Amino acid sequence: MRRHAAYNLPCFYKLLREYQDEVDIDFNDVYLRLSRDEDEEIVRTVAASLHEALLMHQDDEDSHKLRDAFKTVMEVSSKETMAAVTENLEGSLLHYCNSHAVKVYAP
């Protein structure tokens, strides 16, 4: 179930992010927790989709948990996980740095 949750997390984040307070869920915390999961497949899945969460992040939102998740997956020694995170590294870094980069460089 956790593997399916990690795979579908970007979709749920996109659909439900505006209702986070109502449903009492913090998707950024979910990304952070799954980035630290003991199951390597879950971490790899999060690494492959973290750029999507960073892209959807609003300028006025606290991004420290997403940035921590990004740092966590960058430190993983698995070749497969590193390949997953680096595939979309450019987009992740643009949105990781600051909100101004999003405004200037986002298509």
Q: Cα–Cα distance between 39 and 58 in angstroms, integer?
A: 29
| Percentage with pLDDT > 70 across the chain | 78
- Per the structure, the complete domain to which residue 49 belongs is given by 2-105
pLDDT recorded at residue 38: 94
Q: What pLDDT shows up at residue 102?
A: 40
Euclidean distance between CA atoms 107 and 101, whole angstroms: 11
Q: Among 23-32, 47-56, 60-69, 83-92, which range has the highest average pLDDT?
A: 23-32
Structure tokens at 81: 């996980």
Which residues 6+ apart lie within 8 Å of 93 measured at CB?
A: none
Query: How confident is the model at residue 91, as a pLDDT?
Result: 61
Q: CA-based diameter of the chain, in Å?
A: 39
- Number of Cβ within 10 Å of residue 51's Cβ equals 22
Number of folded domains that form the chain: 1
Total-model pTM: 0.76
What is the average per-residue pLDDT within 4-27? Answer: 90
Q: What is the mean pLDDT of the chain?
A: 80
Residue-level pLDDT at 107: 46
Of 52, 55, 60, 63, give the one whose Cα is nearest residue 6: 52
Q: Using the predicted structure, report yes or no on whether residue 94 has a pLDDT greater than 80.
A: no
State mean pLDDT over 4-24: 90
Cα–Cα distance between 82 and 44 in angstroms, integer?
A: 8
CA distance 97 to 7: 25
